[in-house]
Structure 1
Amino acid sequence: MTTENLTEPKIWKEIASGDLQFRQVSYPANYRMAPHRNSASHLFLCLSGAVEHLSGDTSHYIGEASIGYVPRDDLHADHFLGEVTTFDIVLGDEFGRRYPGFCSRRSMCDRDRPAQLATNAYREFKSPDNLTSMMLEGLTLELLVDLHRRADDRPEPRLPRWLARVRDLLHANYSEPLSLERIAYEAGVHPAHMTRTFRGQFGCSIGEYIRRLRIENAGRLLTESDMPIAEIALTVGFADQCHFTRTFKKYTGTTPSAYQRRHA
């Protein structure tokens, strides 16, 4: 399975089991899905790369070996960071009617028991036998129960005004050498409170968020400008081309020059 030349999402394998659909899907580097609603609830395990899941004022970073659950008709957008492959479990209408309490609430989980259950389901999916259908349905139910028990019963809070200020500051100044002290000063909060709340809201550290912004904007410049790679590296905030190339390949699975040629 190679994802290097993808320009659109590709389903590599798909299995139906009753009212459930299981599939392995790959997405091109930096692929974006505009705000949309899915006609069915679905679980997804990130096998490689990372996904930024946006819903209202909330942003979730779903890295490798992490899992997300998106209920039917939930308005959201997705940004696939790097070349991403996921294992998806799509829940049909009948399944939702049988287990309505488990299928109505969005949830994300980072490398915990639900992610391990999803990994077990993926292994079963990869090597099916005459018991696979039963195994997959049982693992899916376990997944939903675990996610349901971990979810907070209270409504998800809106993004605090000061945290929105932090987010906007990062987007406007990602190429600059920012410090936690300066960001916290601008937001009017203590650095420790800021870093803890930021990770809880966005699923990653402030430094990781800045690095993703740099790679995202570097990808745009590689495809939309004639700037040399060394100049792009400096423009988005990297100290030199060597550091930029290593980081870009880590996030996208390819070098800046190969990415540029592919999208020429």
Structure 2
Amino acid sequence: MRQPEAALSPPELGAFGDTLAAYYHQESSSTASASWTDKTTFAITRLQSDVGLPGTSQPIPDEAALHVSIAIQPVPLGSYELLVDGREIDVPFIPALRTSILDLRSQIACTLDCGFDYVHYHLPREGLDEIARDHRIKPVETYRFGICEDDLVIAQVTKTILPLATSPNWSSQLAIDQFSLLFGAHVLQTYGGLARLPEVVTRGLAPWQARRAAEVLRSRLDGGVRLNVLARECGMSVSHFARSFRATFGLSAHGWLVRRRIEVAQDLLLTSTHPLVEIALQSGFSDQAAFNRTFRHVVGVSPGKWRRDHGRG
């Protein structure tokens, strides 16, 4: 492999999004992110190319984070060369939906001389450490390196989020925040050398915390509030808040917010003659298609039929 060029300047937030794309000589990316703490970001980045890399990738600057990648399409044997800390790694044929796990505290560079489609997950160690502490275990120092791992959980969740990559729901903040905690817990357990994460008994939110969380969520029906903001309002860590919210309300914060949107929409359907597209926007949905899809999923019928059945033609 040709030796990598000098590294680009270290990113302000980490190796994801267009910053990650630049390391791989790509002009743009599809990205969604969640704030794990005030200074760390979990991110999902999709990079695609019909022709491969024009040369060796830029080495990613040292960062206290894991880089988890999953191939959406197969990578032929001999097409992908990987260099970690100056050592060439033997890369086998990579079938679709196989996972690689790299520690960004190592220097990483690669060549890829065929078209590719990858989803990359950026997991800061500080966020993983917080999840560990929330489960009353010590932070993990060394995560298992992996190439071409057959991780059925990561494969399935990646297939689930792929359709969102080109839709407005890709930036649904609370949904991504909730997803990031589940994904982080899986990586912590599977690649951190743990048999399983200890069960943690959650008592739920205190009454004042429940009221405050509901108040903030109702004020932002469009979902424009992050899980870390809700947690801060309640004086809790993000992962502890997420578990406590579910214990109190029986739903995740995102699920609870969706139910409130549907309730607002039902009230508007009954008391107004507004067209569905206007009701969708007033209820916090990004568009009528998302409103119709979610309403049908929660209520069981389309909003138009529900309105007709309840007296508003």
TM-score, L = length of structure 2: 0.38
Q: Which structure dedicates a bigger proportion of its chain to strand? A: 1
TM-score, L = length of structure 1: 0.45
